[in-house]
Structure 1
Amino acid sequence: MSVRYVLAAPVAAYASVPPVAVGASDLTVGRLVGAVAALVALAGVVVGALALARSSGRIGGRGGGVALVAGLFGVVVGGVDLAVADGGPGTGNGVVGGVVAVVLGLVAVVLSRLALVRSRSHRAGRPADGAEHEGAHQ
Protein backbone atom coordinates (compact mmCIF):
# COMPACT_ATOMS: atom_id res chain seq x y z
CA MET A 1 0.00 0.00 0.00
CA SER A 2 1.49 3.32 -1.04
CA VAL A 3 1.39 6.61 0.81
CA ARG A 4 -0.44 8.20 -2.11
CA TYR A 5 -3.29 5.68 -1.77
CA VAL A 6 -3.57 6.25 2.00
CA LEU A 7 -3.74 10.03 1.57
CA ALA A 8 -6.12 9.91 -1.38
CA ALA A 9 -8.66 7.55 0.24
CA PRO A 10 -10.23 10.07 2.67
CA VAL A 11 -10.43 12.70 -0.07
CA ALA A 12 -12.18 10.30 -2.43
CA ALA A 13 -14.58 9.21 0.31
CA TYR A 14 -15.42 12.82 1.13
CA ALA A 15 -15.97 13.68 -2.52
CA SER A 16 -18.30 10.73 -3.06
CA VAL A 17 -20.72 11.73 -0.27
CA PRO A 18 -23.51 13.93 -1.61
CA PRO A 19 -24.13 17.20 0.24
CA VAL A 20 -26.94 17.17 2.76
CA ALA A 21 -29.80 19.52 2.00
CA VAL A 22 -30.24 22.28 4.58
CA GLY A 23 -33.79 23.07 5.60
CA ALA A 24 -35.14 26.57 6.00
CA SER A 25 -35.37 26.24 9.78
CA ASP A 26 -32.09 24.37 10.35
CA LEU A 27 -29.53 26.27 12.39
CA THR A 28 -26.07 26.00 10.85
CA VAL A 29 -22.82 27.55 12.02
CA GLY A 30 -22.93 30.11 9.22
CA ARG A 31 -26.47 31.12 10.09
CA LEU A 32 -25.58 31.38 13.77
CA VAL A 33 -22.55 33.60 13.08
CA GLY A 34 -24.57 35.83 10.74
CA ALA A 35 -27.43 36.11 13.22
CA VAL A 36 -25.13 36.97 16.14
CA ALA A 37 -23.32 39.59 14.08
CA ALA A 38 -26.65 41.09 12.96
CA LEU A 39 -27.98 41.20 16.53
CA VAL A 40 -24.84 42.88 17.85
CA ALA A 41 -25.00 45.41 15.00
CA LEU A 42 -28.70 46.02 15.75
CA ALA A 43 -27.81 46.66 19.40
CA GLY A 44 -25.22 49.14 18.13
CA VAL A 45 -27.88 50.95 16.11
CA VAL A 46 -30.19 51.17 19.12
CA VAL A 47 -27.43 52.40 21.45
CA GLY A 48 -26.18 54.82 18.78
CA ALA A 49 -29.66 56.27 18.30
CA LEU A 50 -30.10 56.67 22.07
CA ALA A 51 -26.68 58.27 22.35
CA LEU A 52 -27.52 60.68 19.54
CA ALA A 53 -30.86 61.58 21.11
CA ARG A 54 -29.27 62.12 24.54
CA SER A 55 -25.85 63.32 23.50
CA SER A 56 -25.43 65.75 26.39
CA GLY A 57 -26.68 63.32 29.03
CA ARG A 58 -25.46 60.08 30.58
CA ILE A 59 -25.54 57.95 27.43
CA GLY A 60 -23.84 60.40 25.06
CA GLY A 61 -20.10 59.73 25.23
CA ARG A 62 -20.15 56.16 26.46
CA GLY A 63 -23.08 55.15 24.27
CA GLY A 64 -21.33 56.49 21.20
CA GLY A 65 -18.27 54.37 21.96
CA VAL A 66 -20.36 51.27 22.62
CA ALA A 67 -22.26 51.80 19.37
CA LEU A 68 -18.99 52.25 17.49
CA VAL A 69 -17.56 48.98 18.82
CA ALA A 70 -20.80 47.08 18.17
CA GLY A 71 -21.07 48.50 14.66
CA LEU A 72 -17.48 47.64 13.79
CA PHE A 73 -18.02 44.13 15.18
CA GLY A 74 -21.09 43.72 12.96
CA VAL A 75 -19.26 44.98 9.87
CA VAL A 76 -16.17 42.82 10.41
CA VAL A 77 -17.90 39.59 11.44
CA GLY A 78 -20.63 40.01 8.82
CA GLY A 79 -17.99 40.67 6.16
CA VAL A 80 -15.99 37.60 7.16
CA ASP A 81 -19.19 35.56 7.15
CA LEU A 82 -19.90 36.74 3.60
CA ALA A 83 -16.33 36.10 2.50
CA VAL A 84 -16.31 32.47 3.62
CA ALA A 85 -19.85 31.63 2.41
CA ASP A 86 -19.89 29.03 -0.35
CA GLY A 87 -23.35 29.73 -1.75
CA GLY A 88 -26.01 32.35 -1.90
CA PRO A 89 -29.04 33.05 0.26
CA GLY A 90 -30.84 29.95 1.49
CA THR A 91 -27.81 27.66 1.46
CA GLY A 92 -27.26 27.74 5.23
CA ASN A 93 -24.05 29.75 5.03
CA GLY A 94 -25.39 32.86 6.77
CA VAL A 95 -25.33 35.11 3.73
CA VAL A 96 -28.51 36.99 4.65
CA GLY A 97 -27.36 37.48 8.25
CA GLY A 98 -23.98 38.68 7.00
CA VAL A 99 -25.54 41.28 4.71
CA VAL A 100 -27.86 42.50 7.46
CA ALA A 101 -24.92 42.68 9.88
CA VAL A 102 -22.82 44.75 7.48
CA VAL A 103 -25.65 47.20 6.73
CA LEU A 104 -26.70 47.61 10.37
CA GLY A 105 -23.06 47.85 11.42
CA LEU A 106 -22.46 50.72 9.02
CA VAL A 107 -25.57 52.50 10.31
CA ALA A 108 -24.35 52.01 13.89
CA VAL A 109 -20.92 53.43 13.01
CA VAL A 110 -22.47 56.54 11.44
CA LEU A 111 -24.83 57.09 14.39
CA SER A 112 -22.00 56.62 16.87
CA ARG A 113 -19.82 59.11 15.04
CA LEU A 114 -22.60 61.70 15.06
CA ALA A 115 -23.24 61.08 18.77
CA LEU A 116 -19.57 61.35 19.65
CA VAL A 117 -19.12 64.60 17.74
CA ARG A 118 -22.24 66.08 19.31
CA SER A 119 -21.30 65.00 22.85
CA ARG A 120 -17.79 66.45 22.50
CA SER A 121 -19.13 69.76 21.24
CA HIS A 122 -21.59 69.94 24.16
CA ARG A 123 -18.77 69.29 26.61
CA ALA A 124 -16.73 72.10 25.04
CA GLY A 125 -19.70 74.47 25.41
CA ARG A 126 -20.40 75.06 21.73
CA PRO A 127 -23.33 73.81 19.64
CA ALA A 128 -22.67 71.00 17.18
CA ASP A 129 -24.63 72.51 14.28
CA GLY A 130 -22.76 75.82 14.02
CA ALA A 131 -25.63 77.94 15.38
CA GLU A 132 -23.19 80.29 17.14
CA HIS A 133 -22.09 81.78 13.80
CA GLU A 134 -25.56 82.62 12.45
CA GLY A 135 -25.65 86.21 13.79
CA ALA A 136 -22.15 87.06 12.56
CA HIS A 137 -23.05 86.79 8.86
CA GLN A 138 -26.03 89.16 8.92
Structure 2
Amino acid sequence: MSVSGMMMVAAEGGIIGDGRTGANLALGVGLLGLAVGRLALARAGGRISTGNARAGGMSAIAVGTVGTILAVLHMGTAGGGPGTGNGLVGAVLAIPLGVGAAFLGRLALTRSRRDDRPTDRMTT
Protein backbone atom coordinates (compact mmCIF):
# COMPACT_ATOMS: atom_id res chain seq x y z
CA MET A 1 0.00 0.00 0.00
CA SER A 2 1.32 3.44 -0.83
CA VAL A 3 1.85 6.21 1.70
CA SER A 4 -1.08 8.21 0.35
CA GLY A 5 -3.29 5.13 0.58
CA MET A 6 -2.28 4.55 4.20
CA MET A 7 -2.97 8.21 5.04
CA MET A 8 -6.44 7.94 3.48
CA VAL A 9 -7.23 4.77 5.47
CA ALA A 10 -5.99 6.47 8.67
CA ALA A 11 -8.05 9.59 7.95
CA GLU A 12 -11.19 7.58 7.30
CA GLY A 13 -10.85 5.83 10.62
CA GLY A 14 -9.14 2.66 9.48
CA ILE A 15 -10.77 -0.69 8.93
CA ILE A 16 -12.20 -0.99 12.45
CA GLY A 17 -13.87 1.83 14.35
CA ASP A 18 -16.40 4.54 13.98
CA GLY A 19 -16.03 7.84 12.18
CA ARG A 20 -14.29 9.47 15.12
CA THR A 21 -11.21 7.25 14.96
CA GLY A 22 -9.48 9.31 12.26
CA ALA A 23 -10.18 12.54 14.12
CA ASN A 24 -8.92 11.06 17.38
CA LEU A 25 -5.77 9.92 15.61
CA ALA A 26 -5.22 13.42 14.21
CA LEU A 27 -5.85 14.94 17.66
CA GLY A 28 -3.37 12.56 19.28
CA VAL A 29 -0.70 13.26 16.67
CA GLY A 30 -1.27 17.01 17.06
CA LEU A 31 -0.95 16.83 20.85
CA LEU A 32 2.20 14.72 20.52
CA GLY A 33 3.63 17.32 18.16
CA LEU A 34 2.86 20.10 20.63
CA ALA A 35 4.62 18.20 23.42
CA VAL A 36 7.69 17.56 21.27
CA GLY A 37 7.73 21.19 20.13
CA ARG A 38 7.47 22.47 23.70
CA LEU A 39 10.35 20.26 24.81
CA ALA A 40 12.46 21.37 21.83
CA LEU A 41 11.73 24.99 22.65
CA ALA A 42 12.79 24.42 26.26
CA ARG A 43 16.00 22.81 25.03
CA ALA A 44 16.71 25.73 22.72
CA GLY A 45 16.20 28.16 25.58
CA GLY A 46 18.64 26.29 27.79
CA ARG A 47 16.05 25.26 30.38
CA ILE A 48 16.62 21.56 29.63
CA SER A 49 20.17 20.42 29.04
CA THR A 50 19.48 16.96 27.64
CA GLY A 51 18.78 16.32 23.99
CA ASN A 52 19.18 18.24 20.79
CA ALA A 53 16.92 21.22 20.16
CA ARG A 54 17.38 21.03 16.38
CA ALA A 55 16.32 17.37 16.21
CA GLY A 56 13.34 18.08 18.45
CA GLY A 57 12.34 21.06 16.34
CA MET A 58 12.48 19.07 13.13
CA SER A 59 10.50 16.26 14.76
CA ALA A 60 7.83 18.70 15.93
CA ILE A 61 7.52 20.12 12.42
CA ALA A 62 7.18 16.64 10.93
CA VAL A 63 4.66 15.38 13.51
CA GLY A 64 2.63 18.61 13.32
CA THR A 65 2.50 18.41 9.54
CA VAL A 66 1.34 14.78 9.62
CA GLY A 67 -1.34 15.66 12.20
CA THR A 68 -2.58 18.54 10.07
CA ILE A 69 -2.68 16.38 6.93
CA LEU A 70 -4.59 13.64 8.75
CA ALA A 71 -7.10 16.19 10.05
CA VAL A 72 -7.63 17.75 6.63
CA LEU A 73 -8.05 14.31 5.03
CA HIS A 74 -10.57 13.34 7.69
CA MET A 75 -12.49 16.56 7.18
CA GLY A 76 -12.63 15.85 3.46
CA THR A 77 -13.91 12.31 3.90
CA ALA A 78 -16.29 12.83 6.85
CA GLY A 79 -19.92 12.59 5.87
CA GLY A 80 -22.49 14.81 7.51
CA GLY A 81 -21.93 17.87 9.59
CA PRO A 82 -20.92 18.68 13.15
CA GLY A 83 -22.72 16.61 15.75
CA THR A 84 -23.38 13.61 13.51
CA GLY A 85 -20.72 11.41 15.14
CA ASN A 86 -18.31 11.43 12.23
CA GLY A 87 -15.53 13.27 14.06
CA LEU A 88 -15.74 16.46 12.04
CA VAL A 89 -15.39 18.69 15.11
CA GLY A 90 -12.36 16.72 16.29
CA ALA A 91 -10.73 17.14 12.89
CA VAL A 92 -11.41 20.88 12.98
CA LEU A 93 -9.76 21.06 16.42
CA ALA A 94 -6.78 18.96 15.27
CA ILE A 95 -5.76 21.41 12.55
CA PRO A 96 -4.63 24.21 14.91
CA LEU A 97 -2.85 21.63 17.09
CA GLY A 98 -0.80 20.43 14.13
CA VAL A 99 -0.09 23.94 12.91
CA GLY A 100 0.89 24.98 16.46
CA ALA A 101 3.27 22.02 16.71
CA ALA A 102 4.93 22.99 13.43
CA PHE A 103 5.16 26.59 14.63
CA LEU A 104 6.80 25.57 17.92
CA GLY A 105 9.24 23.36 16.03
CA ARG A 106 10.17 26.21 13.71
CA LEU A 107 10.61 28.54 16.68
CA ALA A 108 12.89 25.99 18.38
CA LEU A 109 14.96 25.69 15.19
CA THR A 110 15.29 29.46 14.96
CA ARG A 111 16.36 29.80 18.59
CA SER A 112 18.83 26.94 18.38
CA ARG A 113 20.39 28.48 15.27
CA ARG A 114 20.71 31.80 17.07
CA ASP A 115 22.54 30.10 19.95
CA ASP A 116 24.94 28.28 17.60
CA ARG A 117 26.48 31.51 16.26
CA PRO A 118 29.92 32.46 17.54
CA THR A 119 29.88 35.22 20.12
CA ASP A 120 33.11 36.86 19.00
CA ARG A 121 31.72 37.67 15.56
CA MET A 122 31.25 41.38 14.88
CA THR A 123 27.90 42.47 13.48
CA THR A 124 27.60 45.45 11.22
**TM score, norm. by length of structure 1:** 0.67
Q: Which moved more, 1:53-62 or 1:86-95?
A: 53-62
Name the % identity.
Answer: 41
Is the counterpart of residue 77 in structure 1 residue 66 in structure 2?
A: no
The residue type paired with residue 108 of structure 1 is: A
CA distance in 2, matches of 1:83, 1:109: 21
CA shift for structure 1 position 103? 1.0
The residue type paired with residue 35 of structure 1 is: N
Runs of 4+ in 1 over 3 A off after TM superposition: none
Residue 60 of structure 2: aligned partner:
67
CA distance in 2, matches of 1:105, 1:63: 15
Please give the per-residue CA displacement for 1:33-86, whole angstroms capped at 9, x wherever unaligned. 110111111010111011111115424111111111110011111011111112
Residue 30 of structure 2: aligned partner:
41
Structure possessing the higher relative contact order (Cα contacts under 8 Å, 6 or more residues apart): 2
| Structure 1 unmatched runs, 5+ | 1-26, 127-131
The residue type paired with residue 43 of structure 1 is: L
Residue 10 of structure 1: aligned partner:
none
Residue 3 of structure 1: aligned partner:
none
CA distance in 2, matches of 1:38, 1:50: 18
Please give the per-residue CA displacement for 1:93-136, whole angstroms capped at 9, x wherever unaligned. 2112211210100110110100011112212236xxxxx97xx9
> Aligned to 2:84, which of 91, 95, 108?
91
Residue 95 of structure 2: aligned partner:
102
Q: State the number of aligned residues.
A: 102
CA distance in 2, matches of 1:114, 1:84: 32
CA distance in 1, matches of 2:116, 2:93: 34
| Structure 2 unmatched runs, 5+ | 1-16
**TM score, norm. by length of structure 2:** 0.73
Q: Secondary structure at the match of 1:88?
A: coil
The residue type paired with residue 40 of structure 1 is: V
